[in-house]
Amino acid sequence: MVAPGDRSPRRFQRSGSRRGGPDTGSVPETLWDPELAAAVREHGVAVPEERVAETLLDELAGKAASLPPSPMG
């Protein structure tokens, strides 16, 4: 998930990659966190978005609650 105006996927950094997940297979480079791909290769696990979806949605809801009301309604 990417926040508006932000090009770095939420929670998908090296620090979060150790939570585990399925075997990684081929790992592409990660431009938003250059160390992430290396960490995934080193540990042999990836974290699919579905596994952290609730945390991601809670974080986005908290950010949305602090925004001013939309002029569109």
Q: What is the pLDDT of residues 16-52, one digit of tens each?
A: 555 555 556 788 898 989 899 999 888 888 778 888 8
pLDDT at 20: 52
* Predicted TM-score (pTM) of this structure: 0.43
Q: Kindly report the number of other CB atoms within 10 A of residue 46's CB atom.
A: 19
d(CA 4, CA 43): 30
| Rounded Cα gap, residues 49 and 22, in angstroms | 12
Report the alpha-carbon distance of residue 49 to residue 27 in Å, rounded. 15
Confidence at 58, pLDDT banded by 50, 70, 90: very high
Rg, Å, the chain Cα set:
15
